[in-house]
Amino acid sequence: MRLVTLVLLGVMALEHVYFLYLQMFRWTHPRTVKAFKTTYDVANSSKKLASNQGLYNGFLAAGLFWAILAPPPLQRPLAIFFAACVLIAGVFGGLTVSQRITMIQALPAALCLVSIFVFGI
């Protein structure tokens, strides 16, 4: 059943790679502007900030992939740490930016943490 945990870690890692892509390379694209429910003016003026945020999402993705690939003694603490980081970021984003972030980011992280403690890793 630890496969469930690994799949959830993988899904979160891929989500954060996608966030990196959108924020660093597609921030002013019409579909990204629409997805983030912003305007072109805001997207253009916040392009550097979004790129920086995308880089941080890349670090989260790297940590989640590290947790998947790490040797057994490191796997559990890495998975807990990076899933908790994603959960905290998702809750904060949900409270300060949009409730959608809670569903997209915090919920998978919470499920992953439950999976770690129920099924192990």
Structural Rg of the chain based on CA atoms = 15
Instruction: Write the pLDDT tens digit of every residue in 22-36.
Output: 999 999 999 999 998
Ranges of each domain in the chain: 2-119
pTM: 0.92
Residue whose C-alpha is closest to residue 98's, from 37, 22, 27: 37
Read off φ and ψ for residue 39, nearest 5 degrees.
-120, 165
- Cα gap 26→64, rounded to integer Å: 23
Instruction: Write the pLDDT tens digit of every residue in 74-99.
Output: 999 999 999 999 999 999 999 999 99
- Cα gap 111→48, rounded to integer Å: 32
Widest CA span in the chain: 48
